[in-house]
Amino acid sequence: MIRINYTHPRPTNNGMTLIEVLVAILVLSFGMLGMLGLLMNGLKLTTSSNYRNIANIESQAMADLVRANARNLTLYNAPSDSSNSSCFSTSGCSSSQARVETEFSLWLDRLGTMLPSGSGTICRDSTPTGQTSGTPSDWACDNATGSQFVVKVCWNESRIATAPVISCVQSNI
């Protein structure tokens, strides 16, 4: 019996597998960067939605407070934001004006805490626009006599937009 010793020639890869692995890692990393961008954009939009929800709740809360005290409605037209310490005692507020100013001051403190650069106003506006974005001049009130009372809440959304943007919501009283 004759034995034939046959050996297969060894294939030479010369680094082709390494290049394929590097290309696969490159494609995978671009995909992961794209997913990271989507995740970050989703977080920004969720934050914006949360701020808008807080602003709506706070504007409605103040509008309800003003409606509940309709007898002193004129005191709510652009009140000062000074709180009266007597309103925090058991004896109560010394006057309706002190109570209105204290309520307004506490509301402004809540807005500043809950919203970035959050602020608000209660005023008369003959052309209430609802929800706006832009600059504070977009939500300025004209204080025309006989016009409708509105509550406006605004905050800074510059971390979401490319330029500083002030977003506002308002509630009619």
Please tell me the predicted confidence (pLDDT) of residue 92: 73
Cβ count near 133 (within 10 Å): 13
For residues 94, 97, 98 and 99, what is the CA-based torsion angle, rounded to 10 degrees? 90
Number of domains in the chain: 1
> Could you tell me if residue 68 is inside a domain?
yes
> Could you tell me if residue 128 is inside a domain?
yes
> Could you tell me if residue 157 is inside a domain?
yes
What's the pTM value of the predicted model, to 2 decimals?
0.69
> Could you tell me if residue 159 is inside a domain?
yes
> Could you tell me if residue 102 is inside a domain?
yes
Structural domain that includes position 154: 16-172
Band of pLDDT at residue 152, cut at 50, 70 and 90: confident
pLDDT digits (tens, 9 = 90+) for 93-124: 777 877 888 888 889 899 989 988 888 888 88
> Could you tell me if residue 3 is inside a domain?
no
Contact 130, 149 (CB under 8 A): no
> Could you tell me if residue 2 is inside a domain?
no
> Could you tell me if residue 61 is inside a domain?
yes
